[in-house]
Structure 1
Amino acid sequence: MATIRSREDRDGITIGWQAQIKRKGFPLQVKTFRTKAEAKEWATVTESEMMRGVFVQRTESEQTTVHDLLSRYADEVLQNLKGGHKELSRIKVLQAGLGKYSLAAINSSIIAKYRDKRLSTISEKTGRLIGTQSIKHELGLLQRALKMAAMEWGIALPGGIPTALVKKPALPAARDRRLVDDEEKRLLDACTNAQNAWLQPVVIFAIETAMRAGEILESWKYIKDTDGHKVKVRVSDGLQWSDVDLNKRTAHLPKTKNGEARTVPLSSRAIQVLQGLPRSMDGRVFGTTYEGIHQAFARACKRAEIDDLRFHDLRHEATSRFFEKGLREMQVAAITGHKTLQMLKRYTHLKAEDLAKLLG
């Protein structure tokens, strides 16, 4: 049976009502309300849940805000993921929009309103509406943090994972840019004349392996520290000679974007690229950075008169070529590191003329 008692200040004036429930097999439940009616209602509901075996301890979820949860997720999870730094800006956006809510109070309606507000927000950086892909990433990040809270950190969420009930924004059509006609030859010719001598071997290696830029190249980024000062931090180490086995024709990636290591098989062309490279003292396979290659690649495309081609499109190109060579979905996923076939599909754009050849 619940005990309801008043709470008085120093002058004996009632300032609230405290409900206390002691029941065998359950932790002591204590909560204070502004009115006696609210205290009685809470006690009645809580005791009913205990009797029906559906009681959930809400104390920690009531005391933990979304802001607190995301901060902990950033500290304990994101810092251990390759590319986790890219999520920090999304953390701040989510904290600004939803941070004040407790985990016990956050629900699908609140998250849906956040989604709709973001869909109508103009980006200060681009001057255009924020893309649906960005908002989908934000909701996905929030969902992963809530799952971590419930499954690993023991924070009970009374209403379950609310993001699971929220409709995600429809994504734009997947980018399907591939090298066409003689674009590969023109691109590689332009790379040969680049000031950055690493550009051509990097481009060929990317086409042959479908590896991400951060898996191939060292990368740096400027971020602000707690005092607001810009500091340069390494965000990826790039491929190391210690992880390359020329005899087995493999390149091991101990840390990838999705947090799982994988070993990439190397084609004969990729091996030729590696065998022609000088060995650097610092152990890196490619003695340049992503930032340097990014600029050199853009200039090479301009010289080759190739429009709308990004370095990341080479990953699309390589993935599609794997399928055109006859590899199956799980084989390609093992090479590229895609966790789901849906994501793999977005990176795969097969040429109709090549499919026609397979039909005979």
Structure 2
Amino acid sequence: MSIWTDKKGRRHVGIMVNRRRVHRILPEDASASAAKQLEADLRAALAVAKTPRIPNDPRLTEVISLYVDHAETLRSTKTALDHARRIALWLEKYRASQARQAAAHIVKDMSGHYAAGTINRSLGTLKKSLRLAWERGLIPVDYSAHVKRLPENNARSVYLSVEQVQEIASHASESVRAAIWIALLTGARRGEICKLQAADIGEDSILIHAGNTKTLRTRTVPIVPPLRPWLKYLPLTINHEGIKSGFRRAREDAKMPDVHFHDLRHSCASILIASGCDLFTVSKILGHSSVRTTERYAHMEMGQQRTAMEKAFK
């Protein structure tokens, strides 16, 4: 057993790699996930330390270490490192030239336990590590091309009516209720809403700063009358996780367990189009990097055009 708990409630991690025994005792308040993470880190570190190097074909544990420095330049460093650590145990068995086999092994073992998107985030860290190794001359071939991501079916067609949003909001706390209506009436993402400050509210628009957006582009969103009562709650007194858990409880109490907070953003788009707004304008309000992203709502606009033509040529 590599992880156990002693009589005092402290978690222990003990592993053996290449005939080397390592034992660590975690703090008393350490969680089970922290112990598992420590085990993975120890195995990866020992594999790098004790495995002989082969010129131009390093172990993937050495290659993934290049990602650590790169992750420091990313907006979500901790999340990026978590994705990399998730596959550490698999990488011990392979070298850079075996990237294809390593990726296949990861996909085989993780499928059914993780969503395709989560697996792809981890595979993405391996791809980036291999690319960095190639760019720095550590490997003769860009093996990153050998790592193939899984197809993702992330498309959702959940569009809520105002009445449905009202039902969910009625079960939420005041702060979560404010976040719900701000999301619906601006199309802003949850992370963007969390970072809104009172100073970002103008007379007739809200400024969403580039550093707080997914596309790293500043955008302004018009303030419509129904939005004004909720602006007094900015900045919100709860964080990203507070909104997430609060919305989950509210949707379950409203008997809509399959609704996601992000569906409020899609619902904003559908309401705009139903009101006669064109795709280009919707794209600007939602802050899409391209109108092509907004084309998922084209069927709504087409339905509106069909209704108008049917009335015109009746």
Q: TM-score range by the shorter chain?
A: 0.5 to 0.7
Residue pair 1:210, 1:314 contacting (<8 A) in 2 also: yes
List alignment gaps of at least 5 residues for structure 2: 1-52, 310-314
Matched-pair identity in %: 20
Give, in whole Å, the separation in 1 of the partners of 2:289 and 2:130: 20
Residue pair 2:206, 2:222 contacting (<8 A) in 1 also: yes
Counterpart position of 2:169:
191
Alignment of 1:318-357 (within 5 A): 318-320=268-270, 325-328=277-280, 335-336=285-286, 344=293, 348-349=296-297, 352=300, 354-357=301-304
Aligned length in residues: 253
Pick the aligned partner of 2:120 from 127, 136, 139: 136
Alignment of 1:160-179 (within 5 A): 160=142, 162-172=143-153, 174-179=155-160
Residue 198 of structure 1 aligns to a residue whose secondary structure is helix
TM-score, with length taken from structure 1? 0.57
Task: Give the number of the structure with larger relative contact order, counting CA–CA contacts within 8 Å between residues 6 or more apart.
Answer: 1
Residue pair 2:56, 2:140 contacting (<8 A) in 1 also: no
Rg larger in structure? 1
Matched, 1:74 2:68: yes
Residue 235 of structure 2 aligns to a residue whose secondary structure is coil
Matched, 1:206 2:183: yes
Counterpart position of 2:251:
301
TM-score, with length taken from structure 2? 0.64
Pick the aligned partner of 2:209 from 216, 228, 253: 253
1:338 to 1:306, Cα distance in 2 relative to 1, 3 A = same
Alignment of 1:107-122 (within 5 A): 107=97, 110-121=98-109
Give, in whole Å, the separation in 2 of the partners of 1:159 and 1:188: 56
Alignment of 1:203-282 (within 5 A): 203-217=180-194, 238-242=195-199, 244-247=200-203, 249-256=205-212, 258=214, 260-269=216-225, 271-275=227-231, 277-278=232-233
Counterpart position of 1:87:
80
Give, in whole Å, the separation in 1 of the partners of 2:210 and 2:155: 28
List alignment gaps of at least 5 residues for structure 1: 1-58, 218-237, 279-283
Give, in whole Å, the separation in 2 of the partners of 1:165 and 1:139: 11
The structural deviation recorded for 1:308 is 0.9
- Greater strand share, structure number: 1
- Greater helix share, structure number: 2
Letter of the 2:102 counterpart: Y
What RMSD, in angstroms, separates the aligned Cα atoms of the two structures?
A: 3.7
